[in-house]
Amino acid sequence: MKNEFHFLKAGIACGYIQLKTICLAFLLMTVVAGYANGRTDILLTDGWTLRPISDPTPGKQGTAVTLPHTWNASYVKDTYYNRETMVYNRTLTISETMLHNNRLFLRFEGVNSVADVFVNRMTIGQHKGGYTAFCMEITDFVHEGNNELEVWVGNAFRTDVLPIAGDFNVYGGIHRPVHLLITAKDCISPTDYASQGVYVHQDKVSRQEAEFRVETVLSLTTATESKQLRLTMTDAGGKVVAQRTDAVIGGVMQQSISLRNPTLWHARKNPYLYNIKVELLDNGRVIDTVEEQTGLRYFSVDPEQGFFLNGEHYPLLGFNRHEDVDGKGSALSAEDHERDMQLISETGATMIRLSHYPQSRYFYELADRRGMVLWSEIPLVGPGGYDFTGYVKNVEENARQVALEMVHQNYNHPSVCFWGLFNELLVDEGRFREWDNPVGFVKELHQLVKQADSSRLTTFATCVQHTNYLGCSDLMAWNKYFRKPGNYSKVRQFYEEARQTTAGQPLGISEYGDAGSINIHTDPRYDRVRDHAENYQLLTHEGYWHAVKDMDWLWCKCIWQFADMQSSIRHEGDRDGVNDKGMVTYDRRTCKDIYYFYKAQWNPEPMVYITGRRFVNRKHEVTDVKVYTNQKDATLYVNGKKIAKQQSGDMNRIVFKGVHLSKGKNTIRVKAGKLSDECIWRFEPAEEK
């Protein structure tokens, strides 16, 4: 349904629907119809304008924009990108029906980084932090007819707003959807950390029985005597499996359910979801409804055996992912999120680390449905190899706020198993002395998160000695890069030694990888190793993966990173301002050779792929042909002539050595079982001087 105003039951993904302007009469019908389900959710996508706050000319029209939006997705000059304050403005048309015996709220899914919200030039409130949602009531600030909604958005650097460092760009704007919520006077609270107001506490889950509590936070303005709370649980087919109704006796209600022989959420093997519907009734009439999907599961991490899901060992293999797409920055559409999830899933990955901030609600929902385990973290981020620090005492209040928002807003997602506390706060040991020591605060943050959610495990990613952080979390993980070919022994030695000094805390890999551009190529038979060459990226990853693939005790193995992304501080590769360590290009149009290496390692579906396909023009007659395949063997043909047949081995990799090319065009073809792959190379001898 494509309308300007679209109502959905709370908790169901909006799909980021592209909306069109419609007449007020249809709006009124929509609002009235919405009350049958207890609340109306209007998505505010169109009708916005934008102008810089530095231009305060009265009556000046801004530039028309559509949400989600960011103003600095592209660089202004070289690697500089603008961090400033801009003003978003739109008209809110409020009908008499909307106002009658109702309450109105604005819910912002994400505004980067600080938002000051005004309605009819009156202050509604401020929110600090660009990657978590916030919700503000506007009931007493609006009137029938047209109302002015104005949002001042600033992404300028501040020491009291996360992040204060990091190897990624802080895009400015209302980069996630905005909703106008209309509820009855008494409702399920939309302002409890901007969550859905419904929390599913999985107290005890096994294959035989699931015992859990549904906690509902209410916002009540009238007496409770006539009110009830009805809880209904349905399975994936819509069948009611549990239901209970209780008298409302306070602002926070607890309703327990026991379910025999539940179907468990088992990640990619069976991402099974139940639907939880909570209805607030007044004299038997539904006045508010919230629906949430959740999966029942239990998990643990053992320092000697790794991650277990529902009692089974389940290797966590995957990627770090930024919300950053060429031309859009972090203002992603539903299609962008779906494409990323599809590309990640096709490799056979089982987990994603959401680096380095909570991401779109829609992506969490995709992970639930696709069975992808998530590590979600707050943007308490260090400098990523550069100067300055990611922690000063002034940022502590915002870190606490964002951590609680992250936990409450994503509490019901079965995909989330880990809460991340920080990333690379210190670059080297000396930073403990040069800057404020973060260890005491991180321990406090760990306790805060565990109090809010004791069912999940906390973790962090470090690039300095992990013993500095003992006792700061349940788990730990390393960002450790061994980039040169021949890194196998260095990697194995590092992790085996690190394992001995964790004091029993499970150890994982949060980042490893190397740069690779699809426009830079070298021939390893003749040329020196060149940084950022696509084939050099392969050598680094092959050695690293070979070293860790059988270390089952590592609780996770996360590659940096899924896709290339912008980082203004980088001057390298073939494009300034880009971190090109991704498996996929920034525009998502090309999967690099390294993407297919991991697909051959992780995905059981038959595949074969010739590397170096973009290295088209060659100056040497004799070359090697490297192939990735999960088939037992493959046969190489050059210009239709059979060259050789080889087995793939335990790395699902074949290198055909010393292959001769003909002058001019060469058709390179590989067959593996019923599959084949083909590319064209051209050989033109270098002119002799």
pLDDT tens-digit series, residues 311-331: 999 999 999 999 999 999 999
| Amino acid occupying residue 164 | I
pLDDT > 70: percent of the chain: 93
Residue 358 has pLDDT above 80, yes or no: yes
* Per-residue model confidence as pLDDT tens digits over 166-196: 999 999 999 999 999 999 999 999 999 999 9
* Omega before residue 571 within 30° of 0, cis: no
Distance (Å, whole) CA 9 – CA 39: 7
Cross-sheet strand order for the sheet of 608-610: 608-610, 622-629, 653-660
Q: Per-residue pLDDT averaged across 27-31, rounded?
A: 35
Ranking 34-38, 386-390, 581-585, 662-666 by mean pLDDT, the lowest is 34-38
Residue 227 has pLDDT above 60, yes or no: yes
Q: Per-residue pLDDT averaged across 133-149, rounded?
A: 98
Supply the mean pLDDT for the chain. 91
Fold of 198-294: Immunoglobulin-like (2.60.40)
| pLDDT confidence tier of residue 515, bands split at 50, 70 and 90 | very high
Ranking 26-30, 465-469, 511-515, 566-570 by mean pLDDT, the lowest is 26-30
Task: Provide the residue ranges of all domains of the chain, joining segments of one domain with +.
Answer: 24-185, 198-294, 311-513+537-566+593-603, 617-683
* Per-residue model confidence as pLDDT tens digits over 442-483: 999 999 999 999 999 999 999 988 998 999 999 999 999 998
Ranking 70-84, 276-290, 637-651 by mean pLDDT, the lowest is 70-84
**198-294 matches 617-683 in fold:** yes
Structure-token match 């300095």, residue found: 464
pLDDT at 413: 98
Q: Per-residue pLDDT averaged across 514-535, rounded?
A: 89
Cross-sheet strand order for the sheet of 306-309: 299-302, 306-309, 312-313
Give the 3-state secondary structure of residue 671: strand
**Contact yes or no for 610/668 (Cβ under 8 A):** yes
Active site residues: 424
Ranking 4-8, 536-540, 590-594, 646-650 by mean pLDDT, the lowest is 4-8
Q: Per-residue pLDDT averaged across 600-607, rounded?
A: 97
The enclosing H or E element of 491 equals helix 488-499
What are phi and psi for residue 450, nearest 5 degrees? -65, -35
pLDDT at 486: 84
pLDDT at 254: 98
Ranking 135-144, 274-283, 379-388 by mean pLDDT, the lowest is 379-388
Residue 21 has pLDDT above 50, yes or no: no
Residue 611 has pLDDT above 80, yes or no: yes
| pLDDT confidence tier of residue 19, bands split at 50, 70 and 90 | very low
Distance (Å, whole) CA 63 – CA 90: 11
pLDDT at 14: 30
What are phi and psi for residue 396, nearest 5 degrees? -60, -45
Q: Is the dihedral of CA 487, 510, 398, 451 positive or negative?
A: negative
| pLDDT confidence tier of residue 131, bands split at 50, 70 and 90 | very high
pLDDT at 404: 98
Highest average pLDDT, of 55-69, 92-106, 525-539, 561-575, comes from 92-106
Residue 355 has pLDDT above 90, yes or no: yes
pLDDT at 28: 34
Ordered alpha helix ranges (H), 524-602: 534-548, 593-602
- Rounded to two decimals, the pTM is 0.93
Residue 32 has pLDDT above 70, yes or no: no
pLDDT at 76: 67
pLDDT at 77: 64
Domain 311-513+537-566+593-603 classification at class level:
alpha beta
Q: Per residue in 379-389, is it b (16+ CB within 10 Å) or e — as a string?
A: bbbbbbeeeeb
Residue 629 has pLDDT above 70, yes or no: yes
Higher pLDDT, 374 or 11: 374
pLDDT at 16: 29
Distance (Å, whole) CA 310 – CA 592: 35
| pLDDT confidence tier of residue 431, bands split at 50, 70 and 90 | low
The candidate with the shortest Cα–Cα distance to 27, out of 186, 182, 142, is: 182
pLDDT at 427: 59
pLDDT at 5: 25
* Per-residue model confidence as pLDDT tens digits over 236-279: 999 999 999 999 999 999 999 999 999 999 999 999 999 999 99
Residue 29 has pLDDT above 90, yes or no: no
pLDDT at 569: 84
Residue 526 has pLDDT above 90, yes or no: no
- In 164-267, which ranges are E strands? 178-184, 187-188, 198-205, 209-219, 227-234, 240-247, 252-260
Residue 373 has pLDDT above 90, yes or no: yes
pLDDT > 90: percent of the chain: 83
pLDDT at 443: 97
* Omega before residue 255 within 30° of 0, cis: no
CA atoms in the 13 A half-sphere facing the CB of 368: 23
| pLDDT confidence tier of residue 144, bands split at 50, 70 and 90 | very high
pLDDT at 387: 78
Q: Per-residue pLDDT averaged across 214-222, rounded?
A: 97
Domain covering 24-185 in this structure, CATH number: 2.60.120.260
Structure tokens at 468: 């500095």
Residue 636 has pLDDT above 50, yes or no: yes
Distance (Å, whole) CA 429 – CA 630: 43
Ranking 36-50, 113-127, 585-599 by mean pLDDT, the lowest is 36-50
pLDDT at 433: 67
Higher pLDDT, 4 or 446: 446
Give the 3-state secondary structure of residue 524: coil
Distance (Å, whole) CA 473 – CA 502: 11
Residue 63 has pLDDT above 90, yes or no: yes
Residue 162 has pLDDT above 60, yes or no: yes
Q: Per-residue pLDDT averaged across 131-141, rounded?
A: 98
Which residues are within 8 A (CB) of 534 and not within 5 positions of it... i.e. 6 or more apart? 516, 517, 518, 520, 521, 592, 593, 594, 612, 614, 615
- Does domain 617-683 fall under CATH 3.20.10.10? My reply is no
